[in-house]
Amino acid sequence: MIQARDDPFMTPDVIPELSELSDCTRLEVYPHGGHVGFVGGTWPWRPRYYLEERVPEFLRAHLEKADRADLSAAPRVIDREVSM
């Protein structure tokens, strides 16, 4: 689950607590991104969409760890600062 604190429709009040999430859910909270946003790059000519970069990054990291470690020890809540 990816959430921005500045989302005008989904305020920080709706960000779930760890106890409200399934054990297999990972929550990443960012200070900026808006609602369905997370657009960077040189808009409008070369936009970069964060989700299109984050999903492959997430999968790649987990595939690399799968042979080496127990993934259940990975943090489930990440509060990240991202510059776009």
Residue range 32-79, pLDDT digits in tens? 877 766 777 776 788 888 788 888 988 888 888 876 766 555 666 666
Q: How confident is the model at residue 80 (pLDDT cuts 50, 70, 90)?
A: low
Q: Is residue 58 in some structural domain? A: yes
Q: Is residue 27 in some structural domain? A: no
pLDDT value at position 73? 58
Q: How confident is the model at residue 20 (pLDDT cuts 50, 70, 90)?
A: very high
Q: Which parts of 2-79 are beta strand (E)?
A: 2-4, 27-30, 39-42, 46-49, 77-79
Q: For residue 70, give its domain range.
A: 41-84
Contact 15, 77 (CB under 8 A): no
pTM over cut 0.85: no
Q: Is residue 62 in some structural domain? A: yes
Number of domains composing the chain: 1
